[in-house]
Structure 1
Amino acid sequence: MTNSKKVVIITGATSGIGEAIVHAFATTKASLVLVGHSQESGQRALEAAQKMGCPVELVLGDVSDSAFADEVIKFTVARFGKVGVLVNSAGIIRGGSAVDISDDDWHQTFDANVNGVFYFSRAAVKSMRRTGGGSIVNIVSNVGLVGSCGLAAYYASKGAAILLTRAMALDHAKEQISINAVCPDAVDTRMLVSAHGKPVGVEVLQRNVDVIPHGRVTTPKEIASLTVLLASEEARHITGVALPIDWGCAGR
């Protein structure tokens, strides 16, 4: 598998799954544009990628701002000549059932998890169609496929992102743009813990392990490896897929 000539934009690049995806693409010596919102964590991710010897830039902003998405695409084209791959990994989680969640939390969840994916994907497609195609990989969630309880906004937003993935994949297949969604169940990140409130990390992990047939949660590195594969030439025939990564767990 060769990604040495790829130009990759990664949102949510400064923590969790996104940070692991940065590392995975950096090992291929791809040119990277890291998108985040924190200067401190962004600088850390930038320096880590630089140490691996790949060309890399950091851009800070709000993924739910359509103008910012357009600016990132234009910056990437100006800096590296094209956009070959977009990975939408940015996302947030807010707790509560439909009757418990606030309007602000509902809107913030959809802004980050749906609007951000839409704005960046739309801007990327406009660029990719001019340069012969490309790949978009959306990091979503298995709950967008199976549902669960207690996180109504999060689950609804992930379902929307999956159907957006499928719609755009069909719309742009003839332009040689592949668009897929990776849908992990529990992943060992800080977000997993934050979704459950009071329990400490080890308790949250054990709760998830107890209901997963394989008896373990997925690591960010495993999601990152799959993302690189889906963005590779070897996977260009795969598009419109929402791939569950759940160790055989059909949901909660």
Structure 2
Amino acid sequence: MRLKDKVAIVTGSGQGIGEEIAKTFGREGAKIVIAEINEETGSKVSDDLMSSGVEAVFVKTDVSDEQSVKEMVQVAVKHFDGIDILVNNAAIAVRKSVVDTSLEEWQKVIGVNLTGPFLCSKYTLPEITKRGGGSVINIGSWHADKTITRFASYPAAKGGLLALTRQMALDEGPHKIRVNAVCPSMVDTPLERQTFSSLPDPDKAYEQALDFQPMGRIGTVEDIANACLFFASDESVYVSGQSLVVDGAAINKIARPLMFD
């Protein structure tokens, strides 16, 4: 087992990519903290893990709220005696241009997608240091480089997260903590389906998206979880400050913003 007896916090792990990361890490021997704002889905994933023999605990967590994050870290340490791995996965999206995005919407997206990883890292890193090192994995996005129309706040947050990844890697290297990012393109998740459903013609948009996929399909949650497993395991012990794009080469084909409107 590649993560035997490691303790991993996975934020936003009540569904989608986060859920699959938690289950993949659990199969590899890790003890899992399900840090999720949705109590129903978070509890279910935790129960599913425990039913399969994985040690897990659910902590209702709003990653944009400092006190909530502090309490999540405290529960993780109390329950498992330490933390080895943090996956900053929790994310939300609002599909609007700068002009149409309200300040409240902007702050909410930045709060979850960028302030959230900052807060979770701020309070988790000292605990990982106590264990002699470990791994932080930030879930970025191809939107930090190529994006679609009317999507201002999400790429802004993900671009900032990649910059934060590089900076944290410098600061945490002396503590033997590596910090990397995994950047999915289109992945079949509830969040992705929500994005498509907001478009005037979701079916046409999906067909257009497939045209940009050299491998003829969009990504799966398993694709992303396996990349995260590499960064969480000792196989990446000398890899830090990197952003791994997991997109089936799509980003090399996209030479302009996708015009779904």
Provide the C-alpha distance between the structure 2 equivalents of 1:42 and 1:204, rounded to a whole number of angstroms. 31
> What is the RMSD computed on CA atoms of the aligned residues?
1.6
- Compute the TM-score of the two structures, normalised by the length of structure 2: 0.92
Q: Determine the structure 2 residue equivalent to 1:219.
A: 220
Partner amino acid for 1:235? S
Deviation at 1:61, TM superposition (A): 2.4
Is the CA contact 1:13–1:90 (under 8 Å) kept in the aligned structure 2? Answer: yes
Provide the C-alpha distance between the structure 1 equivalents of 2:201 and 2:220, rounded to a whole number of angstroms. 18
Provide the C-alpha distance between the structure 2 equivalents of 1:57 and 1:149, rounded to a whole number of angstroms. 39
Is the CA contact 1:145–1:159 (under 8 Å) kept in the aligned structure 2? Answer: yes
After superposition, the C-alpha distances for 1:198-221 in whole angstroms (9 at most, x for unaligned) are: 468655543321112222111001
Q: Determine the structure 2 residue equivalent to 1:210.
A: 211
Q: Determine the structure 1 residue equivalent to 2:238.
A: 237
With 105-114 and 121-130 compared, the bigger mean Cα shift is at 121-130
After superposition, the C-alpha distances for 1:203-244 in whole angstroms (9 at most, x for unaligned) are: 554332111222211100110111111100111111100111
After superposition, the C-alpha distances for 1:10-45 in whole angstroms (9 at most, x for unaligned) are: 000101100111110111121111011112111221
Q: Determine the structure 1 residue equivalent to 2:151.
A: 151
Is the CA contact 2:2–2:29 (under 8 Å) kept in the aligned structure 1? Answer: no
Kindly report structure 1 stretches of 4+ aligned residues shifted beyond 6 Å: none
With 119-128 and 190-199 compared, the bigger mean Cα shift is at 190-199
Partner amino acid for 1:230? F
Q: Determine the structure 2 residue equivalent to 1:194.
A: 194
Q: Any unmatched runs of 5+ in structure 2?
A: none
Is the CA contact 2:59–2:75 (under 8 Å) kept in the aligned structure 1? Answer: no
Provide the C-alpha distance between the structure 2 equivalents of 1:64 and 1:90, rounded to a whole number of angstroms. 10
Deviation at 1:6, TM superposition (A): 0.5
Q: Determine the structure 1 residue equivalent to 2:63.
A: 63
Provide the C-alpha distance between the structure 2 equivalents of 1:171 and 1:128, rounded to a whole number of angstroms. 13
Is the CA contact 1:86–1:121 (under 8 Å) kept in the aligned structure 2? Answer: yes
Do residues 247 (structure 1) and 251 (structure 2) align? no
Is the CA contact 1:29–1:53 (under 8 Å) kept in the aligned structure 2? Answer: no
Provide the C-alpha distance between the structure 2 equivalents of 1:31 and 1:204, rounded to a whole number of angstroms. 39
After superposition, the C-alpha distances for 1:139-185 in whole angstroms (9 at most, x for unaligned) are: 11011133443201001000001101110011111110001010011
How many residue pairs align between the two structures? 252
Provide the C-alpha distance between the structure 1 equivalents of 2:247 and 2:201, rounded to a whole number of angstroms. 22
Partner amino acid for 1:172? E
Deviation at 1:91, TM superposition (A): 0.2
Provide the C-alpha distance between the structure 1 equivalents of 2:16 and 2:203, rounded to a whole number of angstroms. 17
Q: Determine the structure 2 residue equivalent to 1:168.
A: 168
Q: Determine the structure 1 residue equivalent to 2:78.
A: 78
Q: Any unmatched runs of 5+ in structure 1?
A: none
Partner amino acid for 2:100? D
Provide the C-alpha distance between the structure 2 equivalents of 1:143 and 1:38, rounded to a whole number of angstroms. 25
Q: Determine the structure 2 residue equivalent to 1:112.
A: 112
Provide the C-alpha distance between the structure 1 equivalents of 2:222 and 2:135, rounded to a whole number of angstroms. 20
How do 1:128-143 and structure 2 match up within 5 A? 128-143=128-143
Provide the C-alpha distance between the structure 2 equivalents of 1:33 and 1:87, rounded to a whole number of angstroms. 10
Deviation at 1:248, TM superposition (A): 1.4
Provide the C-alpha distance between the structure 1 equivalents of 2:71 and 2:166, rounded to a whole number of angstroms. 25
